[in-house]
Amino acid sequence: MKNIKIAAAVTLLVLGLTSCKDEKQEKAQKTIDSYVAYVDSVKNVSAENLKADWKAVDAEYDRRSQEAQTALADLKDNSAATEKVNASKIKYEEFKNEMTTVFAPPAPSPKQQLRDALFGAGKIGDDMNFSWVNAQNIHSVYQQFVHTVENNKDKYSREDWDEVKLMYEALDSRKNTVEKEGLTAEDNRKIAGLKVKFAPMYTVNRMGAKSEENKDAKK
């Protein structure tokens, strides 16, 4: 009788362990299926809707991806599941790269690129607002402007030189205001030197750019 009870207890224990293993594998399979379904569902959402919540979408993907990788270890034969996980991973990475391109801001116009080079990215837009230039930084602004022109003078077209002149005159106009707001004599002297350097460089190279365009037009 005692042996029968022991055998019964062992049988129940084995059945319990088997049941636990089955539940664990079933849960692991559901986790993997959920991961695969998530990737497919994300690809069906419009780019416009995704853009607003992309960080949350990507974070949720990372969480599900990690859970799926952990779940693979709980499957006795995980070869088929591994293929599904890897296929979804590749699918998502390709989709993410595509969305990164879609979400990227449009490239600035050539005119804006020139302004960004002269003053720094985003400093001067279509509003031509120079209020950020003050007595403390105006010398460094002139330095960047003149040195940028000097480094690129052989590349500028006639239209580029016209834009350079427009920006230069706008900066000069701002200097007239800054002079009344505490511009030091030392900085004023240094700016004067930069202006002396810029004037002939503009005149000669702008004429040269126009001459080259006339030659090209005759060909």
Distance CA 169, CA 176 (A): 11
Which range is least confidently modeled, 4-18, 94-108, 127-141?
A: 4-18
Q: Cβ of 187: how many Cβ atoms within 10 Å? A: 19
> What is the residue extent of each domain of the chain?
2-103, 110-218
* Residues 158-200: tens digit of each pLDDT: 999 999 999 999 999 999 999 999 999 999 999 999 999 999 9
The pLDDT tens digits for 70-87 are 988 888 888 898 999 999
**Is the CB of residue 164 less than 8 Å from the CB of residue 114?**
yes
b/e map of 120-141 (b: 16 or more CB within 10 Å)?
eeeebeeeeebeebebeebbeb
Q: Model confidence over 92-120: pLDDT tens digits? A: 999 999 988 888 888 889 999 999 999 99
| Residue 95 Rama label (left phi>0; alpha psi -120 to 50; beta) | alpha
Q: Let me know: does 125 contact 112? Beta carbons within 8 Å.
A: yes
Average pLDDT, the chain: 86
The whole-number pLDDT of residue 4 equals 45
**Residue-level pLDDT at 212:** 61
- pLDDT for the residue 76: 81
Q: What is the number of other CB atoms lying within 10 angstroms of the CB of residue 81? A: 21
Q: How confident is the model at residue 211 (pLDDT cuts 50, 70, 90)?
A: low
How is residue 54 written in tokens?
A: 């992309």
Rounded Cα distance, 198 and 204, in Å: 10
When pLDDT is cut at 50, 70 and 90, the band that residue 48 belongs to is confident
pLDDT at position 215: 54
DSSP letter at 122 equals T
Rounded CA separation 133/141 (Å): 8
